Amino acid sequence: MRIEKCYFCSGPVYPGHGTMFVRNDCKTFRFCKSKCLKNFKKKRNPRKTRWTKAFRKASGKELTVDNSLEFEKRRNIAVKYQRELWSKTVEAMRKVEGIKRKRQAQFILNRLKKGKLLQKAEDISEVKKNIHLIKAPHAGKAKVMEEKMVQKIQDVEMGDN
Amino acid sequence: MFFSVAVLLDDILFSASSLVLSFPSAVGGPTWSAKMSLYNFKKIMVVPTSKEFIDITLSKTQRKTPTVIHKHYQIHRIRHFYMRKVKFTQQNYHDRLSQILTDFPKLDDIHPFYADLMNVLYDKDHYKLALGQINIAKNLIDNVSKDYVRLMKYGDSLYRCKQLKRAALGRMCTIMKRQKQSLEYLEQVRQHLSRLPTIDPNTRTLLLCGYPNVGKSSFINKVTRADVEVQPYAFTTKSLFVGHMDYKYLRWQVVDTPGILDHPLEERNTIEMQAITALAHLRSAVLYVMDLSEQCGHTLEQQLELFNNIRPLFANKPLLVVANKCDIKKISELTEEGKKIFADLTAEDIPVIETSTLTEEGVMMVKTEACDKLLSHRVDSKMKGKKVHDVLNRLHLAMPAKRDDKPRPPFIPEGAKVGRKTMEVDTPKRKTERDLEMEMGDDYILDLQKYWDLMNQDEKHDVIPEIWEGHNIADYIDPEIMKNLEDLEQEEELKVKAGEYESDEESEDEEMQEIRQLAKQIREKRKLKIVCSKEKDVHGPRMPRTVKKVERKTLEKEMGGLGLDMTDKDDSHYAVNARRSRSVGVLKKRKREVSVVATSRTRSQSASRPPRDQSGVRDPKMAKKAKKLMKSQQKDMNRQGKKGEADRHVFDLKPKHLFSGKRKSGTHDHR
């Protein structure tokens, strides 16, 4: 039993799920659901279909080259079963998975930092331009003006006197 | 050792040379190529009957030559047209007849065995005559065509030319009609010829002869793959049959003949003559078959008589006497005279072998004896010939000389010896799964894991994990995984130390937070405004803002929301104006009411007519009830989405063109 990868969306195809298409040159294509299969039949390029993992990797939205990703790959050398090796591998898998997730998340965060700066600038400009929608320009100034006027009158009176 | 040389010689000399044969019959023919005679007989073209022949040729003429001609054409064109037809017919006849003549074998050109055989079967004279007639017919047709073409040159009208053509064609067809008999005969000859057995007169042959019913066909059935009919009556075999067998890596022919009876040559019938022809022409080993039990209907003496009579035919051929049906009677059980006969034969150096085709004893012996004898005879005759030396010069048998006295026996590996032994002796093999299954019965479980060859034998029956949280464990298996993991973890530590994972968010100062808040509010307000403006009902002309009266309350609310101080604004400008305008407005209105006069009837009527929902209604209670009734009546219509009472439109919810028909080219998303 193994979990295959869908050719189109790179999602997991569990045993008993999905379909497989075998071409005349003996290349097999597995699909996790009919959406992927239909897109494939429409000859769409997964690297250009925005919701697929292939697109995300090809356009640099996700972590592509990393040591933690090198652990999971198909090796062509058969290794005979050894209990300790297998159990160590399962342990290692957990740790590697943790590290991989951390790094993937960090990658995305770094990518989104720029957006935050832009958002900041936009907020500032928005406030500058449209503050009149929530606050009248001289709101709260009336009292100040009054006080000032009072002050002035008093001053004048004082001056007079 | 010698036989291998003999075999080689025989084969090589046969293939390398064209043959000069010596045979008993007096026909001293010219040399011929052996290959020509053998397979042509099957490729002779079908000879049509005379009627068919005429039909074919005439219809061909009609189809393949132009058919349209008119009186008014130029005369040379008309002449050419009809001449063409005559010539075309002549050409056709000529071609077909020539082909027949060339296809049929010339009796002088083929191997004398076949020539004689054909003579016996078809009568040489009749055959030659038929072919001669065909030849004559061909020449006659040529002449007819020549004459009429010459005459056509002087035809001066379409009618004359046409008649000439008719005459020519008619004469040719009459000639062919006269050949009816010859053509029929030739067709029969062709059919029979193609069914003759393909006997190669030059290769190694064993010839079986003897009285009818002695067991020749049974013998050939036993020795070769031939399936000749064996029956208890005489003359079951009516023609020659060939079977092939292998011996010493060579192909041998075995020829079965019909039985021969003992009377002089002139009185023999066709069937016997075939046997005689075979005997006469084929260079073979002769197996004279005798019936010891005399079940064939002839005594031993008669058989001996026949043997002596046809003895001359056996000259120069290795001879063998086969004493058949020995399961019924053996030579030792014979009478004195019988034994004497065989003793004589053996004395003359003719091997006598007892056989029984029923029990198959002696059959193999006969075969080997006959084949050996024939081989040696052939080799001898070839050695005496001239061509031998060419071949012998090329042959060399190498005999390695011994260099020392060390014995060098053939090497047989141990495994082969053991294998052979186990094959001979029924040793018990190792226990198979099936045996185990039979033993354990119901609690047998097929456990292939026990055969696994692992480093640690007690791990064989482990349950191996394959998947963990959506990942295949097999993808991670690597003998160096621990090392790689350590490297990775170190890298990770370094990264953490370098501060890559620290969330960079500078705690924003209050100002930024305030700005954010304000921006959010602004955006919300904007959205609201947009929504409000979209909800506005813009039927009718666009009126300026001043037409719509602004309520004091809404103004104060709005301005208050924007942050201005709107408390206690009684003496503000707008409030004062409002008070002032009201008083004026009221007065004005009152004045108006007094002075106005109804100008037309409609105005007065509309003024005095009460609105429909108030007319006839006594009190508010009734009005309420009436309104309720109205609403309840409208409920149904509203629920069905109808515009009103008069809306009786029936919607077509399942239109036929979207729900019927085959799914041909097109998508499955929509029809």
Query: Over the stretch B334-347, which tens digit does the pLDDT of each residue have?
Result: 888 888 888 888 88
- pLDDT attached to residue B600: 53
For residues A158 and B2, what is the distance between their CA atoms, to the nearest angstrom?
161
Chosen from B478, B526, B569, B668 to mutate, greatest number of chain A CBs within 10 A: B478
Q: Which tops the pLDDT comparison, B279 or B141?
A: B141
Q: Are the C-beta atoms of residues B238 and B208 closer than 8 Å to each other?
A: no
3-class DSSP state of A150: helix
The contacts of residue A72 (CB under 8 Å, 6+ apart) are: A96, B471, B472, B475, B476
Query: Least CB-CB distance to A89: which of B481, B489, B565?
Result: B481
- pLDDT attached to residue B516: 92
Chosen from A38, A122, A126 to mutate, greatest number of chain B CBs within 10 A: A126
Average pLDDT across chain A, whole number: 93
Do residue B516 and residue A123 have CB atoms under 8 angstroms apart?
A: yes
Q: Which tops the pLDDT comparison, B193 or A137?
A: B193
For residues B366 and A39, what is the distance between their CA atoms, to the nearest angstrom?
81
- How is B140-177 classified by DSSP, letter by letter? HHHHHHHHHHHHHTT--SHHHHHHHHHHHHHHHHHHHH
Do residue A93 and residue B473 have CB atoms under 8 angstroms apart?
A: yes
Instruction: Name the CA radius of gyration of chain B, rounded.
Output: 61
pLDDT tens per residue, range B200-217: 888 888 998 888 888 888
Distance, in angstroms, between B475 CA and closest chain A CA? 5
For residues B325 and B361, what is the distance between their CA atoms, to the nearest angstrom?
10
| Beta carbons within 10 angstroms of residue B438's beta carbon | 10
Q: Report the range of poorest mean pLDDT among B4-13, B142-151, B360-369, B510-519.
A: B4-13
Do residue B522 and residue A131 have CB atoms under 8 angstroms apart?
A: yes
For residues A97 and A86, what is the distance between their CA atoms, to the nearest angstrom?
16
For residues B488 and B509, what is the distance between their CA atoms, to the nearest angstrom?
38
The mean per-residue pLDDT over the stretch B31-50 comes to: 68
Residues 114-133, chain B, touching A (beta carbon < 8 A): none
| pLDDT band at residue B39 under the 50/70/90 scheme | low
A100-109, A129-138, B301-310: range with highest mean pLDDT: A100-109
Do residue A92 and residue B492 have CB atoms under 8 angstroms apart?
A: no
Do residue A95 and residue B468 have CB atoms under 8 angstroms apart?
A: no
User: Which amino acid is residue B482, in one-letter code?
Assistant: M
For residues A13 and A93, what is the distance between their CA atoms, to the nearest angstrom?
20
| pLDDT band at residue B22 under the 50/70/90 scheme | very low
Do residue B489 and residue A99 have CB atoms under 8 angstroms apart?
A: yes
Query: Least CB-CB distance to A123: which of B462, B471, B515?
Result: B515
pLDDT tens per residue, range B392-427: 888 888 888 888 888 888 899 998 888 888 777 666
Which two three-digit tokens encode residue B18? 């064209």
B22-36, B546-560, B593-607: range with highest mean pLDDT: B546-560
- pLDDT attached to residue B420: 82
| pLDDT band at residue A30 under the 50/70/90 scheme | very high
Distance, in angstroms, between B440 CA and closest chain A CA? 29
Q: HEC states along B48-112?
A: CCHHHHHHHHHHHHHHHCCCCCCCCCCHHHHHHHHHHHHHHHHHHHHHHHHHHHHHCCCCCCCCH
Q: Is B482 on the interface with A (CB under 8 A)?
A: yes
pLDDT tens per residue, range B352-398: 888 888 888 888 888 888 889 999 988 888 888 888 888 888 888 88
For residues B645 and B652, what is the distance between their CA atoms, to the nearest angstrom?
20
Residues 277-336, chain B, touching A (beta carbon < 8 A): none
Do residue B464 and residue A81 have CB atoms under 8 angstroms apart?
A: yes
Distance, in angstroms, between B575 CA and closest chain A CA? 19
User: Which amino acid is residue B638, in one-letter code?
Assistant: N
For residues B278 and B275, what is the distance between their CA atoms, to the nearest angstrom?
5
DSSP strand E in B156-293: where? 205-210, 241-247, 250-256, 285-291
DSSP B361: B
The pTM of the full predicted model, rounded to 2 decimals, is 0.46
The mean per-residue pLDDT over the stretch B276-302 comes to: 85
Residues of A whose CB is below 8 A from B560? none
Largest CA distance in chain A: 110
Beta strands A19-22 and A28-31, pairing class = antiparallel
Residue in B230, B246, B327, B280 with CA at minimum distance from that of residue B114: B280
Residue in B249, B254, B276 with CA at minimum distance from that of residue B263: B276
For residue B316, pLDDT over 80 is answered with yes
Do residue A80 and residue B478 have CB atoms under 8 angstroms apart?
A: no
The mean per-residue pLDDT over the stretch B564-574 comes to: 82
Do residue A96 and residue B485 have CB atoms under 8 angstroms apart?
A: yes
Chosen from B450, B456, B463, B488 to mutate, greatest number of chain A CBs within 10 A: B488
Residues of B whose CB is below 8 A from A67? 487-488, 491
For residues A111 and B518, what is the distance between their CA atoms, to the nearest angstrom?
27
Residues of B whose CB is below 8 A from A88? 481-482
Residues of B whose CB is below 8 A from A72? 471-472, 475-476
For residue B32, pLDDT over 60 is answered with no
Residue in B182, B197, B47, B45 with CA at minimum distance from that of residue B127: B182
Query: Least CB-CB distance to B488: which of A12, A96, A135?
Result: A96
The answer to ipTM > 0.90 is: no
B13-27, B292-306, B627-641: range with highest mean pLDDT: B627-641
Q: Report how many Cβ contacts below 8 Å link chain A to chain B.
A: 133
Alpha helices in B536-572 (DSSP H): 552-561
Do residue B462 and residue A81 have CB atoms under 8 angstroms apart?
A: yes
For residue B15, pLDDT over 70 is answered with no
Q: Which helix (H) or strand (E) holds B250?
A: strand B250-256
| pLDDT band at residue B607 under the 50/70/90 scheme | low
- pLDDT attached to residue B28: 39
For residue B509, pLDDT over 80 is answered with yes
Do residue B559 and residue A71 have CB atoms under 8 angstroms apart?
A: no
For residue A140, pLDDT over 80 is answered with no
- pLDDT attached to residue B576: 86
Which two three-digit tokens encode residue A144? 């100040």
Query: Least CB-CB distance to A92: which of B452, B464, B476?
Result: B476
- pLDDT attached to residue B579: 82
Q: Measured in whole angstroms, how far is the alpha carbon of residue B250 from the centre of its chain?
A: 35
pLDDT tens per residue, range B88-109: 999 999 999 999 999 998 888 8
- pLDDT attached to residue B390: 82
Chosen from A110, A122, A123 to mutate, greatest number of chain B CBs within 10 A: A123
Do residue B481 and residue A3 have CB atoms under 8 angstroms apart?
A: no
3-class DSSP state of B353: strand
Residues of B whose CB is below 8 A from A135? 562-563
Do residue B564 and residue A127 have CB atoms under 8 angstroms apart?
A: no
3-class DSSP state of B547: helix
| Closest CA in chain A for residue B502 | A106
For residue B16, pLDDT over 50 is answered with no
User: Which amino acid is residue B354, in one-letter code?
Assistant: E
Residues of A whose CB is below 8 A from B477? 75, 79, 85-86, 89
Average pLDDT across chain B, whole number: 84
Query: Least CB-CB distance to A89: which of B452, B467, B476?
Result: B476
Distance, in angstroms, between B399 CA and closest chain A CA? 56
The mean per-residue pLDDT over the stretch A32-53 comes to: 97
pLDDT tens per residue, range B469-497: 999 999 999 999 999 999 999 999 999 99
